[in-house]
Structure 1
Amino acid sequence: MKIGQSLHNPSKHEEGGGAIHHPRAYEVMAEIGFAGRRRRVFTQVAALTGARLGDRILDVGCGTGYLSRVLAPRVGPDGHVTGVDPSPPMVGHARGRAPRNCSYRVGEGQDLPFPDASFDVVVSTLAVHHMPYAARGTAIGEMLRVLRPGGRLLIAEFRPPTNAFFAHLVAVAVGPAMHPSMPELLADLVPAAGFRVEGTEHVKPLLHCVRAVRPE
């Protein structure tokens, strides 16, 4: 069994990377995987969301809540960051560290438990590859549904590393869930859901980011 697989629940998401249910082990792996640059990387991702004071943000596949805590100061006390994740242990870990303007719910990206047009920004970081292949398009459609018209989407996923060490690390962590590559997959799924893609960015060392808007 691969290291990454040991953190997942393969019975529910056998076609993807699977939900993760071991928050402390995940935190250790994330720090190692980002080679001590996790905070810098996620600060860059937060900036790419375009989040502003007072915004309502949804973090799909929030995991331990790391990104939502980075986003919290950007929206300030009048804004709010909501995290959703299918794993109760991950949500529990996030709740135990939540700032006042963050909250968390158990739920799946392909069936988001929120009304239409509830958020100004939707962000999803390293979550789509954990979803079953057949559910990924549905999940991005759900992100469109819960965004207000004109709202902003940012999806950050693994890109195929050119460095041999990082390529091996990604293969160990996520295995076959990365085929086809996430940049290729997102290039199809995001516009197919109805988003207008505004651009893509690489955040070193591992991330490919897609910026998009829900049309007015």
Structure 2
Amino acid sequence: MGMKLLHGHSRHKDGGGTIDHPRAYEIMAEVGFAGRRRRVFTRLAALSGAGPGDQVLDVGCGTGYLTRILASLVGTDGRVTGVDPSHPMLDHARRRAPGNCSYQVGEGQALPFPNATFDVVVSSFAVHHMPTAARGGAVREMFRVLRPGGRLLIAEFRPPANPLAARLVGVLAGPAMRPSMPDLLAALVPDAGFRIEDTGEVGPVLYYVNAIRPLETRS
């Protein structure tokens, strides 16, 4: 099953693109995580800090896999909203969503929500799909829609330690993964106004940044 089936990067040389084949994506994701997908995303949901009653936004939610895990954390008094540019992915997500999840079509660099709407914003494996020039704007949008004191979690791929594996990832992903996501997020997140609280790894190829929107925003 080729990368072109899943990704639109071949049409976007600057790294942007969408995934429009949800069933194929789900199969590839399960294979790619070697049976540990649920464990990894449950860990991400915990790292986000989402809890009962929170309003949570998942930017680039895809098939809604993470939103459904987050929904159990926020409970009936909370809500998880997913946003993604792909209609097929959102259709797939809606068919499987619990009652406290909802989905909207949109792009990370132009989120369709008012300022300070959410308590928590998460994004997993989405930044590298955005056009290179839009990535900074997307993180600034996450800052805008997050309330002061709210939490941000971005999870992305990191280059494998093995040089051969790292080269293979670079060939498959092309410009979407350059510069490396850890290096990129180390600049984009504080530049948007966030205060980074923690960084780390979950599994062999996942890197995360946990940050807070300060109570006093920059002038």
TM-score range, shorter chain: over 0.9
2:132 pairs with 1:133: yes
2:72 pairs with 1:50: no
Q: Which residue of 1 aligns with 2:100?
A: 101
Taking the aligned partners of 1:32 and 1:163, their CA distance within structure 2 comes to 20
Q: Secondary structure at the match of 1:20?
A: coil
Q: Which residue of 2 aligns with 1:156?
A: 155
Stretches of structure 1 lacking an aligned partner (at least 5 in a row)? none
- Quickly say closer, same or farther: Cα 1:168–1:71, change in 2 above 3 A: farther
* RMSD value, Cα: 1.8
- Matched-pair contact (CA < 8 Å) for 1:13–1:19: no
- Quickly say closer, same or farther: Cα 1:156–1:63, change in 2 above 3 A: same
- Matched-pair contact (CA < 8 Å) for 1:20–1:87: yes
- Quickly say closer, same or farther: Cα 1:55–1:166, change in 2 above 3 A: farther
Stretches of structure 2 lacking an aligned partner (at least 5 in a row)? none
**Amino acid in structure 2 at the alignment position of 1:8:** H
- Matched-pair contact (CA < 8 Å) for 2:16–2:132: no
- Quickly say closer, same or farther: Cα 1:13–1:159, change in 2 above 3 A: same
Q: Secondary structure at the match of 2:27?
A: helix
After the TM superposition, which residues 136-215 of structure 1 pair with which residues of structure 2 at under 5 Å, given as runs? 136-163=135-162, 167=166, 170-171=169-170, 174-215=173-214
Question: C-alpha displacement at 1:176, in angstroms?
Answer: 2.5
Q: Secondary structure at the match of 1:19?
A: coil
Farther off after superposition, 125-134 or 174-183? 174-183
Taking the aligned partners of 1:32 and 1:17, their CA distance within structure 2 comes to 24
Question: C-alpha displacement at 1:19, in angstroms?
Answer: 0.7
Farther off after superposition, 29-38 or 147-156? 29-38
Question: C-alpha displacement at 1:161, in angstroms?
Answer: 1.1
- Quickly say closer, same or farther: Cα 1:173–1:37, change in 2 above 3 A: farther
Farther off after superposition, 28-37 or 110-119? 28-37
Identity of aligned residues (%): 69
Taking the aligned partners of 2:147 and 2:116, their CA distance within structure 1 comes to 4
Taking the aligned partners of 1:83 and 1:32, their CA distance within structure 2 comes to 24
Q: Secondary structure at the match of 1:112?
A: coil
- Quickly say closer, same or farther: Cα 1:54–1:204, change in 2 above 3 A: same
- Matched-pair contact (CA < 8 Å) for 1:4–1:172: no
If the length of structure 2 is used for normalisation, what is the TM-score?
0.93
Q: Secondary structure at the match of 1:194?
A: coil
Question: C-alpha displacement at 1:7, in angstroms?
Answer: 1.6
Q: Which residue of 2 aligns with 1:123?
A: 122
Q: Secondary structure at the match of 2:159?
A: coil
